[in-house]
Amino acid sequence: MTIVKKLAIAISIFTLALISVGGLGLQLLSQSKDRLDYVMVNTLPSLDNLVRANNALSNALNDLSLMFLTRDEQQRNTLKRTLENNLANVEKLSTAYRDGLVSDKQDLQMSNDNLKYLNDFRAAKDKLLQQAQTDNQAVEKAFSDSGYLNQAQAKLVKGFQEQYNYNVELAGGLQAQNGSSFKQAFFGLVSLIVIALLTAGTLSTIIISYVRRSLNALRQTLISVSENLDLTLRADTSKNDEIGQTSSAFNHLIERFSTVLSDVRSASESVSTAAGEIAAANEDLSARTEEQASSLAQTAASMHEISSTIESNVENTAQTNRLSQQAGNVVEHGNESVQRMMHAMEEIASGSEKVADITNLIEGIAFQTNILALNAAVEAARAGEHGRGFAVVASEVRNLSQRSSSAAKEIKTLIDSAITAVQRGTVQADDVREAIGNVKNVIQSVSGLVNEVSLASEEQSRGISQINIAINQMESVTQQNAAMVEQASSAADSLNDQAIRLRQSVEIFKLANTSHHGSNQPMEGMRSLRLGHR
């Protein structure tokens, strides 16, 4: 049963008691009003009627006495008329009482007796008036104690007095009845009020005690949850009332809150794991960046050697050109010049082979750089929003590697051309050895070949310059990659710290089926390894 129904029952009982008290009070007031109305409408008018009738009778007796005392005939006639009027008034009042003011049969009988006594008194009065005309002693006899007029008067007066006393007795009975009804009503109303108050007080005490116990139990649960942050506690929902419904709603809220905190804990662990993966990827990328920087340093050194060789080739070409001119003037030294030219050709061939090897090395570096750029783009895609900038850098590195590969191919083409030129020079030198007589023509051919070598060397020099520019750009990109790796590592550390703090904030709550303590130690160890690596 709900608290509202219990309160409704208590209020209904109290209201019913109030209605009973009010109904009983109204009934008693109605009865008291009826008795008061009876007194006002019947008893008081009856007493007034009897008093007036008795007064009229007294006046009639006085008039009758004065008639026999006066000797004035006119005054006697006046008194006689007054006597008749008073007796008529007595009869009128008595008749009115009998017709409208009698209370019961006994009162009606008294009214009829009084009218009979009035007629007897009139008959005695008429008899006296008739006898008084002939007998002077008739008046004295009639008014004596045993006289018929005195007896008729006494009966009539006694009848009025008895009827008056009877009405007074009836009024006293009404008063006694009213007093008895008041006592009964008083004790009845007091009893109903006491019973109503006791019932209402008992029900109120029971309901208040029940509500206090239920609320105290719910309050203790709330205090335990707030002080201990124990979300496994549940309020008692065994009562099927408002407090039970409130407890059920509270339990549902705790379950929802516990579910949300569990989701937050799982999310923090996922973030921590993702931060670890990002940190590992950053370490791998850092190592690859260092390898690329080392390869670029080696490539720069090789390119320096190639540049020196090309400069040497240019100088040798100039010297060969001078020797060719001298050979045209000094034929006798042609054989020696041819030998020196052959030697120069061998050096050019050797330098060309070295350049070919270096070009192959550059192509290998460009291929590895392209692979690294692809791997970096994949890692940036895994990182999502945080790896967008890193993806742009990876794209630039890939473009630079492609440009380096193209430049290496161009250099290889130039080297192949140089080797071909050297081979042709060798053939020409053999021809010069075989046909010393055609030295001048051979020297001219050699001069042409030397010019071609010079042009090839200049082209090689320009290619090397482009390669140096590409290497410088790759070094800049590598430095940027290293800086971005450092930033990504710092971001991963910050993300890991935030995940740890979030998990620690959630772990202060006691949840159901939780055993995740110490899960942040691997991430701390990984951070220490990254710091040591740096």
How many structural domains compose the chain?
2
- Phi then psi for residue 142, to 5 deg, are -65, -35
Q: What is the pLDDT of residue 436?
A: 65
280 shares a domain with 174: no
356 shares a domain with 422: yes
Contact between 355 and 446 (Cβ < 8 Å) = no
**End position of a domain, from candidates 214, 243, 275:** 214
281 shares a domain with 166: no
Give residue 232's Cα distance to chain centre.
21
Question: Does residue 250 sit within a domain?
Answer: no
Six token digits for residue 403: 């440009």
User: CA distances (Å), 331 to each of 230, 426, 427, 431, 442, in order?
Assistant: 110, 20, 20, 16, 12
Question: Does residue 239 sit within a domain?
Answer: no
Q: What is the pLDDT of residue 534?
A: 47
527 shares a domain with 448: yes
277 shares a domain with 210: no
Question: Does residue 255 sit within a domain?
Answer: no
Six token digits for residue 339: 């030998």
**End position of a domain, from candidates 193, 214, 235:** 214
Q: How many residues does the chain have?
A: 534
Six token digits for residue 145: 């104690």
**End position of a domain, from candidates 178, 199, 214:** 214
193 shares a domain with 110: yes
186 shares a domain with 297: no
Looking at residue 39, its amino acid is V
Contact between 121 and 157 (Cβ < 8 Å) = no
The beta-carbon contacts of 487-491 under 8 Å, at least 24 apart in sequence, are: 488/278, 488/282, 488/285, 488/383, 488/386, 488/387, 488/390, 489/279, 489/282, 489/283, 489/286, 489/530, 489/534, 491/278, 491/386
The whole-angstrom separation of Cα 258 and Cα 232 is: 8
Looking at residue 241, its amino acid is D
Per the confidence metrics, is the pTM higher than 0.85?
no
Return the percent helix, strand and coil in the chain, to nearest 5. 90, 0, 10
Q: What is the pLDDT of residue 522?
A: 44
Give residue 284's Cα distance to chain centre.
47
Contact between 485 and 282 (Cβ < 8 Å) = yes
Q: Backbone dihedral region of 513: left (phi > 0), alpha (psi from -120 to 50 degrees) or beta?
A: left
Contact between 475 and 296 (Cβ < 8 Å) = yes
Tens digit of pLDDT at every position of the chain (534 positions):
677 777 778 788 768 877 877 787 777 777 767 766 766 667 778 888 888 888 988 898 888 888 878 778 888 889 889 989 998 999 999 898 898 888 889 989 988 998 999 999 888 888 888 887 777 777 777 777 778 888 888 888 898 899 899 898 888 888 888 788 778 878 888 888 888 888 878 888 888 887 888 788 778 888 877 787 777 877 777 777 777 778 788 788 878 877 887 888 788 788 778 878 887 887 887 788 778 777 767 777 777 777 777 777 667 767 767 776 776 676 667 677 767 777 777 777 777 777 778 878 887 887 888 788 788 778 778 887 777 777 777 788 778 878 877 887 888 788 788 778 777 877 777 776 777 666 667 667 767 776 776 777 777 777 778 877 877 877 787 788 778 877 877 887 787 788 787 777 766 666 666 544 444 444 444 444 344 444
- Phi then psi for residue 254, to 5 deg, are -65, -40
Residue 156, domain CATH: 1.20.120.30
The whole-angstrom separation of Cα 420 and Cα 349 is: 9
User: CA distances (Å), 240 to each of 1, 4, 9, 380, in order?
Assistant: 6, 12, 17, 59
Give residue 358's Cα distance to chain centre.
72
- Phi then psi for residue 307, to 5 deg, are -60, -40
Question: Does residue 254 sit within a domain?
Answer: no
Question: Does residue 251 sit within a domain?
Answer: no
The whole-angstrom separation of Cα 310 and Cα 407 is: 17
User: CA distances (Å), 317 to each of 19, 309, 432, in order?
Assistant: 135, 12, 18
Contact between 94 and 164 (Cβ < 8 Å) = no
346 shares a domain with 484: yes
Residue 379, domain CATH: 1.10.287
Q: What is the pLDDT of residue 513?
A: 62
Beta strands in 189-272 (DSSP E): none
- For 289-346, the three-class secondary structure string (H helix, E strand, C coil) is HHHHHHHHHHHHHHHHHHHHHHHHHHHHHHHHHHHHHHHHHCHHHHHHHHHHHHHHHH
Question: Does residue 235 sit within a domain?
Answer: no
Six token digits for residue 99: 């017709």
Six token digits for residue 227: 């002080």
Question: Does residue 481 sit within a domain?
Answer: yes
14 shares a domain with 121: yes
Domain limits for position 467: 267-533
Written as one string, the DSSP assignment of 457-468 is HHHHHHHHHHHH
526 shares a domain with 458: yes
User: CA distances (Å), 182 to each of 43, 174, 177, in order?
Assistant: 21, 12, 8
Question: Does residue 332 sit within a domain?
Answer: yes
**508 exposed, middle or buried (CB, 10 Å; 0-12, 13-18, 19+)?**
exposed
79 shares a domain with 156: yes
287 shares a domain with 209: no
